[in-house]
Structure 1
Amino acid sequence: MTHAPSERVAVTIPALLRLAWPIIISRSTQVVVGLADAVMVAHLGEGALAATTTGAMNTFLVFILPMGTVFIVSTFASQYFGGGDVAGARRYAFYGLGIAGVAQVLCLAFIPLLPTVLSLFDYSPEVREGVELYIRIRLLSGLFAVGHEAIANYYAGLGNTRLPMVASVVAMVLDVGGNWLLIDGHLGLPALGIAGAAWSSVFSSAVAFLGLLAFFLVEGRAGGVMMPRLHLHELVRTLRYGLPSGFNWFFEFLAYNFFVNVVVAGLGTTALAGLMAVMQLNSVAFMPAFAMASAGAIVVGQAIGASARDEVPHAVRLTFGLTGGWQVLVGIVFLVVPEWAFAPFASGEASGALLATGARMLRVSVAWQLFDAAATTLAEALRAAGDTAFTLWVRVALAWILFVPGAWISVRHYGAGELVAMLWLVIYIGGLALALYLRFRGGAWRRFNLVDG
Structure 2
Amino acid sequence: MQKTTALKETPTSGDLFAMAWPLGLKAMMLHGIVVIDAFLVSPLGENALAAMGLAGAIAGLLMGVIFAFSNATQIRIAQAFGAAGPVTLKTSFYCGLFINVGMSLLGLIAVIIWGDDLIARFAHTDLIAEQAISYLNIFLFVVLFEAVGQCLASHFNGCGKTKVPFLSYLIAVPVNIALSYVLIHGMYGFPELGVAGAAWGSAVSSLARVAYMAYRAYRDDYDVFTASGWSRDNFWTALRRHWVFALPIAGTFISMTIGTQVCTLIYAKMSVNEFAAMTLILPWVQTAGTFGMAWAQATGITAAQLLGRQLDAASLDVFLRRAWRGTFVAAGLVSLTYLIVILCSGWIYSDLQAETTAALWMFLPVLLVLPFPKGSNAICGQTLRAAGDTLYVMNVFVAGQWACKVPLTLLFVVYLDLSVGWVFSLVLVEELFKFPSFHLRIFKGGWKSAQVIDS
Q: Does the pair score TM above 0.5?
A: yes
Per-residue CA deviation, residues 212-231 of structure 1 (Å, 9 max, x unaligned), is 1243245454x384375442
Q: 1:320 aligns with which of 309, 320, 324?
A: 324
Q: 2:253 aligns with which of 249, 252, 256?
A: 249
In 2, the alpha carbon distance for the partners of 1:408 and 1:181 equals 45
Matches within 5 A, 1:231-242: 231-242=235-246
Give the secondary structure class of the aligned counterpart of 2:289: helix
Q: Is the 8 A contact 1:41 1:183 kept in 2?
A: yes
Matches within 5 A, 1:339-354: 340=344, 346=349
Change (3 A) 1:405 1:323: same
Q: Does 1:176 align with 2:177?
A: yes
In 2, the alpha carbon distance for the partners of 1:285 and 1:265 equals 24
- Kindly provide the amino acid, as one letter, of the partner of residue 301 in structure 2: I
Q: Is the 8 A contact 1:50 1:276 kept in 2?
A: no
Q: Which moved more, 1:399-408 or 1:334-343?
A: 334-343
Change (3 A) 1:54 1:225: closer
In 1, the alpha carbon distance for the partners of 2:95 and 2:435 equals 31
Q: Does 1:154 align with 2:158?
A: no
Matches within 5 A, 1:208-357: 208-221=209-222, 223=223, 225-226=225-226, 228-230=228-230, 231-260=235-264, 262-267=265-270, 275-310=278-313, 311-338=315-342, 340=344, 346=349, 356=357
| Structure 2: unaligned runs, 5 residues or longer | 1-7
Q: Is the 8 A contact 1:90 1:154 kept in 2?
A: no
Change (3 A) 1:177 1:243: same
- Kindly provide the amino acid, as one letter, of the partner of residue 399 in structure 1: Q
- Kindly provide the amino acid, as one letter, of the partner of residue 401 in structure 1: A
In 2, the alpha carbon distance for the partners of 1:46 and 1:173 equals 25
Q: 1:379 aligns with which of 378, 381, 385?
A: 381
Give the secondary structure class of the aligned counterpart of 1:449: coil
User: Which residue is 1:3 aligned to?
Assistant: none
- Kindly provide the amino acid, as one letter, of the partner of residue 167 in structure 2: V
Change (3 A) 1:46 1:322: farther
Report the Cα offset of residue 399 of structure 1. Answer: 0.6
In 1, the alpha carbon distance for the partners of 2:75 and 2:155 equals 9
Per-residue CA deviation, residues 173-211 of structure 1 (Å, 9 max, x unaligned), is 223334433455544556655544444333322321232
Change (3 A) 1:10 1:171: farther
In 1, the alpha carbon distance for the partners of 2:319 and 2:127 equals 45
Q: Is the 8 A contact 1:297 1:383 kept in 2?
A: yes
User: Which residue is 2:4 aligned to?
Assistant: none
Report the Cα offset of residue 133 of structure 1. Answer: 6.3
- Kindly provide the amino acid, as one letter, of the partner of residue 216 in structure 1: A
Matches within 5 A, 1:105-124: 105-111=105-111, 112-114=113-115, 117=118
User: Which residue is 1:5 aligned to?
Assistant: none
Per-residue CA deviation, residues 103-148 of structure 1 (Å, 9 max, x unaligned), is 2212212324246556887x86699857766555434422223322
Q: Is the 8 A contact 1:342 1:355 kept in 2?
A: no
TM-score, normalised relative to structure 1:
0.83
Report the Cα offset of residue 367 of structure 1. Answer: 4.2
Q: Is the 8 A contact 1:51 1:131 kept in 2?
A: yes
Report the Cα offset of residue 414 of structure 1. Answer: 4.1
User: Which residue is 1:29 aligned to?
Assistant: 29
- Kindly provide the amino acid, as one letter, of the partner of residue 298 in structure 1: I
Q: Is the 8 A contact 2:70 2:151 kept in 1?
A: yes
User: Which residue is 2:5 aligned to?
Assistant: none
TM-score, normalised relative to structure 2:
0.83
- Kindly provide the amino acid, as one letter, of the partner of residue 36 in structure 1: I
Change (3 A) 1:400 1:24: same
In 1, the alpha carbon distance for the partners of 2:99 and 2:135 equals 24
Q: Is the 8 A contact 1:378 1:437 kept in 2?
A: yes
Alignment root-mean-square deviation, CA: 3.6
Higher-Rg member (1/2):
2
| Structure 1: unaligned runs, 5 residues or longer | 1-7
Change (3 A) 1:235 1:409: same
In 1, the alpha carbon distance for the partners of 2:191 and 2:288 equals 33
Q: Kindly, what percent of the aligned residue pairs are identical? A: 21
Q: Which moved more, 1:391-400 or 1:103-112?
A: 103-112
In 2, the alpha carbon distance for the partners of 1:120 and 1:413 equals 30
Give the secondary structure class of the aligned counterpart of 1:71: helix
Q: Does 1:164 align with 2:161?
A: no
Change (3 A) 1:428 1:207: same
In 1, the alpha carbon distance for the partners of 2:330 and 2:60 equals 25
- Kindly provide the amino acid, as one letter, of the partner of residue 238 in structure 1: H
